[in-house]
A = this chain, B = another copy of it.
């Protein structure tokens, strides 16, 4: 077989071979049943490495254009295998095996259903301004420095960096985390730190170890939507505690502890997701006291840590722990970058060992490479320098969003001024729902996170979460202007179809 190859071309040789064969088969020049030369023969005749031919053959075999019969050779396929395969896939989606159907009924994710319904109603333009995602902007990611640190540790540790490493996490990284925690007033020991695949894995490990189907779990209402998904799919019964400007209304917690006997209190005390509120010092002390008194563990999710723009720092609940009562979660996703997938938990007492075993059973360990690179890169000082840099960038973005909200949003819209973190939580004007607003906003070119995802019940539909950290001030202004137009449109539509209804939901938060 003669295949014209262009050795000067940027197109790799195997791609050239593959394209040539594909064209010839699809055009009929190589008819069904034609035997192709062996990869060795073709490689020799073309003067290329045999792997080049193997790659090209593998590619078009994957497409079902050719097939290999062991011991006989490679042939042009009769009807294309890929078409058969795709038909089988379609059939399967329509009529999956009965055991699959049973799992589909059993395992349903609350946020997924709601998001799918909302997404189906939306048609965003190409220059969408995204206020929905929950992290900082790409330009602050220290990716290049992490890559450099990887080379540093490679020179130092050689191929050791590719082994499984310590299941609890690379010990020097755990020691660094102890120092970061100490700088925030939280005493800890490296043997109390477990490195996890982001704070999300820490959350999932703790929840799946502590919660059994039917257990009650106390959460702020609203709370982090993926925590709701997690607890719900574990079969927990979620009991929401309302949030006001000082965070969770801890005054209501004792009554709940007495009546629902939860197996866990999950809280995001600092710059809460989604409300942006910070739990007051008094409430922090009361919550820790109640948890110890009623023998209920607290899972403290400190996902944005010390990202504070004004006001005084509050102690972490873990810093007030009377002993083994509080499991603390931290992460490098928000202060450094999400793609590291590195977070950690801090647990005191024998529960730590069970969490370590549970981590091992779930995925053995976190990437040794990335852990060592992060350890080489990060120090207490560097971590704090990052925090300061993030604060310098995010604070004016928060301020830009706050002033745009005042300027562009219709009367009746309310929000808290967050002292830190990433989010502003909007209370929509009476009668407006996310169900109505979301498609209008998307059409206007702005996306927010539907507040209904953050509530333990599906009925609360009068809130939106806006992330201010992701965009520069001018984009923020543009985005809020679009949101204002969509809200005005929503109110007009709503008035035209029915008399205005004052919803109870716009009063709580």
Contacts and interface: CB of A to CB of B under 8 A. Distances in A.
Interface string A341-374: 1000000111100100110111111111110000
B178 A164 contact: no
Interface string A476-503: 0000000000000000000000000000
Interface stretch (A27-35, A86-94, A425-433): A86-94
A58 B138 contact: no
Interface string A187-205: 1010010001110110010
A87 B441 CA distance: 57
Interface string A58-85: 1101101000000000000000011001
Contacts of A45: none
Contacts of A183: 54, 58, 61-62
B100 A324 contact: yes
B208 A208 contact: yes
A96 B324 contact: yes
A143 B161 contact: yes
A144 interface: yes
Contacts of A398: none
Nearest to A368: B339
B109 A357 contact: yes
Given A162-B143, A369-B146, A348 B92 contact: yes
B337 A162 contact: yes
Nearest to A97: B324
A154 B147 contact: yes
Contact of A363 (B14, B198, B210): B198
Contact of A62 (B99, B104, B178, B295): B178
Contacts of A382: 51
Interface stretch (A226-234, A245-253, A455-463): A226-234
Contact of A381 (B51, B98, B364, B368): B51
A259 interface: no
Contacts of A5: none
B226 A351 contact: no
Contacts of A208: 208
B159 A51 contact: no
> How many copies are assembled?
2
Contacts of A81: 187
B351 A104 contact: yes
Nearest to A86: B189
B59 A143 contact: no
Contacts of A143: 154, 158-159, 161-162, 369
Contacts of A86: 189
Most buried by B among A187, A210, A361: A361
A380 interface: yes
A201 B160 contact: no
A59 B178 CA distance: 9
Interface string A216-248: 000000000010011001000000000000000
Nearest to A226: B361
Interface of A: 14, 51-52, 54-55, 58-59, 61-62, 64, 81-82, 85-86, 88-89, 91-93, 96-100, 103-104, 107, 109, 112, 135, 138-139, 141-144, 146-147, 150-151, 154, 158-165, 178-179, 182-183, 187, 189, 192, 196-198, 200-201, 204, 208-210, 226, 229-230, 233, 263, 292, 295-297, 323-325, 337-341, 348-351, 354, 357-358, 360-370, 379-382, 384-385
15 contacts: A51-B382, A59-B182, A85-B187, A97-B323, A99-B263, A100-B350, A107-B209, A139-B159, A147-B147, A162-B337, A162-B339, A200-B364, A201-B363, A338-B368, A367-B370
Given A107-B209, A107-B354, A369-B370, 9 more contacts: A55-B380, A59-B182, A86-B189, A103-B354, A147-B147, A150-B150, A164-B339, A208-B208, A370-B370
A-B CB proximity, top 4 nearest: A62-B182, A141-B162, A162-B337, A339-B368
